[in-house]
Structure formats: structure tokens, C-alpha cells
Chain A
Amino acid sequence: MTASGTFGYGTEFADLVDLSQIGGIIVKGTTLHHREGNPYPRMAETPSGMLNAVGLQNKGVDYFVEHIYPTICDIDSQMIVNVSGSSVEDYAATAEKIAALDKINAIEVNISCPNVKQGGMGFGTNPEMAAQVINAVRRAYPKTIIVKLSPNVTDIAEIARAVEGAGADSISLINTLLGMAIDTRTRRPILSTVTGGLSGPCIKPVALRCVWQVAKAVKVPVIGLGGIMTANDAIEFFLAGATAIQVGMANFVDPAVSVKIKQGIDDYLNKNGYSSIKQIIGALEV
């Protein structure tokens, strides 16, 4: 799958990659109301990664339903909408509107965005708050709910158990790590918001550790993401217990990378005599 916020609505990449070869496309974070996002600068490249502070810029769920959905509903991949909000009611109302869209079989509930002042990560760093959001979304949304977790917590397994208990069908992790960068010439932060979310290969070891901890703690399928650039990276996540993976920042470096990763996973399975990916999920020998 491709990770939310790194692949637009899929259509941006249609010239460059066969979208039907991608298992799922998780579209840009969608909120109840239009959001302009944070002021520029919103991005800073850091060693083997990048910080972003986009702040969930999107035109709101009604615009999505009316104008964007018709342009993506025929893409031959699972189109999954990432949903965010600044209150429990926002999440539920947004999910309810998306539930009416035939071709969308799942949402990814983002309780882990570090770049918004209200809500976002605030919901994902407290187990009770996280459960409250997912309970409300569960009542509003009958199809598959994936919950995207933040790594900016002391015990990620505790949050995972809380959202599983509240009705999550699957858990994806990790969202970005909170970070910052400074321009020493001006002595000012590079990002307009001072702090932002770190992604890219520099966060992969943290993501892998989180996936391993959560996969042991819950029964629902776990989707791993965080710094996956190659098939070998992806295989590490499967071994740690992920049943699927998302590719994020790597799409910026090579827009066709997701299909190459998929091919590389197949090659690994064939070379090692596995007949199914299921044989390596959680097969880590400790």
C-alpha cells in the first residue's frame, strides 16, 4: 500500500506507475471541514529523512465526496481514505460521509498527526481518548477501520490494545516522529511550526520496534510503515509481525518504488522457497 500524505489521491502518480499493481492507496488525510494547513515552510530535509508540517491541508470531506471520489473510484486498487479530526464528533461525522461511498471499503483513522494544534496526535497518545474516538467511528462506519498510531508514546502496545478493544479492525503504524530542525544562519527553526513529523529511512528502526511490540499485543492485523525504501525493509516488517506494509517517503525518491518493492518481496519468497507471504509474517526468531 502507499501511505497517506505521500501519494496524493493516486492520480498524481498515474503517469509513472501502474496503480493497479498497488494493493491499496491510502489517500490524503481528510477532515470534516476545509483546512488550509500550516504556513510555508512545511518541509526540511534531514539526514536520511525529512520533517513535514503540512497540517492536514485538504478541502474537507464534502469536497472529497463530490469532486475527488468520482475521479478515483475507478482506480483498480483498494482506495482507503485517511480520516482526521479535531474532535470525536468530527471523526465520526467524516467517517459517516465516507461510509456512503461504494468503492471505498476501508478508512484509516489518523489519531497520530503531530502537525495540528487540536486533536490529531492528542487522541493517539492517551489510551482512553484513543478508545473514545474509535468507539464513535465504529458506530458511524460499518466497513473496515484501520487505526494509525503515533510512535510518540511511552507504551505503544497499550494504545494498540485500547483501539482494538474499541473496535478497530486493523492497526497501522507508525506515523511520524516529532522532531525539529534549526537554521544556524538565521538562528530560527526551519519549519513554520517549529516542530514537525520526521519520516524516511531514519525512522525505520523505531517503526520496526513498534510493529514488533504491537503485533505481540493485539490479535487484529498490523500494517507496518516507517522508512520502507526497499523490499528488504518491507520483509523486516513482515518478520516483525506486520501482515501488510505501506510505503511513504520512498515515493518521493522513486515514484514507482511501491511496485518494485512488491516484486522484490515476491523474489525473496521464491528464492527462499516460501509459497505464501503468510509464512514469513511474525516469523522472527528471537
Chain B
Amino acid sequence: MCAFKIMAQKSLLDCVVVANTPLSNTCFQLQLRPVSGTLPAILPGQFVEVRVDHTPTVILRRPISVFDVDFSTQTLSLLIQKVGDGTIALSELSEGAVVNLLLPLGNGFSTPEKPNSRLLLVGGGVGVAPLLYLGRQLRDSGHEVNFLLGFRSVREMIDLSAYRSIGNVYVTTEDGSEGETGFVTNHSILKQKADHLYVCGPSPMMKAVAAYAVKAGVSCEVSLENKMACGLGACLCCVTDTKEGHKCVCTEGPVFNINQLKWQI
């Protein structure tokens, strides 16, 4: 496996909100375009830190993974779940509002060296976000892209047509309101062996998929979302425990091969 390409310099970029659209009862899509200049090169799996202005108490930037990038229109899309005051404030941004981004951050996913690999991209909830841009790049590199996407129910599910335009899409919901019933690890697609797994979602879900990967003998990368402050590897707040000691999720992740981690699986 190798990285997609060399990483761009980090920069601070003011962006204007082109559209702010609710996609489910908890998630919304923020589409942003630079006020001036252009977007830097962004690798699938990288993230941005969004400054949250005009709130009484929120002070730290919010790390948000890149949902999609369209360089032809200079549009960066973020899929954000409303969790607390910071993300709720972002959900209320109007068209034309300006937000400051720190980007691009993190390492991004690897790309398989073997041509025509059969790849399974597994997402849970808002964790489906980084898999869209990843899937498109992997498809464009000639790989077979399969998405396995899990949601609590159809109410939390976003429109998956963009995913369907890239590859096969398999869905699970916990209540059976869409796709197969249960967790992603219950889905019948897992009976067919993939060459590599890319996973992003809640920690218990990623650990369950990692356990499946170990048992099935499939290589597996996960994207972590630890609580973060600087995003630059300076404050050491976001560390995860690896076989080589604590590593910053913001700079040495967010993507880790499960072999690097000390997960009890």
C-alpha cells in the first residue's frame, strides 16, 4: 500500500458557505468555496479544522473529515453531525457566511498497489463521510469499490445516490427500516472476501469490523476521531495508544492500519 500522493502545505483559508443542506435528521452538508485563491490538494481521509465563530462558549476548532471535493468548481463539502454547541452553530450558518478552515490535516488513506483490487469501504453513521471522496479516487484508480454503510434507522440515513454512482452500495439499519437488519458486521456481503477494508464510524463498530478483518485475514485501515485541539501535532491531546506508544491522531492519523493499534480484538 502507498499514500495517494505528496501532502500539500497546511494553510488557513477563509471559505464562503455556498450551501448548507440538511441530509438527515442529525446530519447536514456544508458546501464551501474559498473566498479567494484555490483549495489545496486534499487526500481522501484528510480532514479540516473549522473555526466556530459567534458562539458564547465554543472556542476550539472542530475537526471535520472531508466528505467531497470538486476542484472544477472549487467546492469542498463537509458532512457534519449535530452533536453539541459547535456543530449546531455550524448547522445554522447561512449561505454567504464565511468560515475559516485549517487544512489539509492528517495522513489520509492508503491506496492498494495491486491493480483491480476488490475493496470494501465500511461506514457507520456520520462515519460514511470520508468514504465518498475515497471511493471516487479508488474507482478512478481502477479498483472495484463496494460500500457497506450502517445507520441506526432510515431517518439517520443520508441520500446515498452519490455513493451508488461510484460503486455497489450495501446498507444495514439497526431497526431494519432500510437494507439488512442489524450492524454492518451482520451484513451478508462480508461472506465475500475483499482485498482490503477501509473503515470509519463509531469506535465499537470499527473494533467489530477490525475483529472481522483479523479473523478473515483481510488488511484493514480505520479512521479515528479522537477529541482534538490544535490539529497540528503540537498539543498532544488527541493521542491513541499504538504498538509504538502514543501517536497523535491529528498528524500520524487519523488513518491507522489496525496492525498499528493496541485494540483488544
Contacts and interface: CB of A to CB of B under 8 A. Distances in A.
Contacts of B102: 16, 255
A39 interface: yes
A16 B10 CA distance: 7
Interface string B8-29: 0111100000000000000000
Given A45-B58, A252-B60, A36 B246 contact: yes
B59 A50 contact: yes
Interface string A21-46: 00000001000000011011111110
A113 to B, nearest CB: 13
A8 B235 CA distance: 7
B237 A43 contact: yes
B237 A253 contact: no
B51 interface: yes
Interface in B41-88: 51, 56-61
Nearest to B8: A15
Contact of B238 (A28, A39, A43, A49): A43
B contact face: mostly helix, strand, loop, or mixed: loop
B11 A16 contact: yes
B232 interface: yes
B153 interface: no
B241 A40 contact: yes
A52 interface: yes
10 contacts: A5-B235, A40-B240, A40-B241, A43-B238, A45-B58, A48-B57, A52-B229, A54-B235, A54-B237, A252-B60
Given A15-B10, A43-B229, A47-B56, 7 more contacts: A6-B235, A8-B233, A15-B11, A40-B246, A42-B236, A50-B229, A52-B229
Interface of A: 5-8, 12-13, 15-16, 28, 36-37, 39-45, 47-50, 52, 54, 57, 200-201, 249, 251-256
Interface of B: 9-12, 51, 56-61, 102, 226-241, 245-246, 251
Which 7 residue pairs spanning A and B have beta carbons closest together? A8-B234, A43-B237, A47-B57, A15-B10, A12-B232, A252-B230, A12-B234
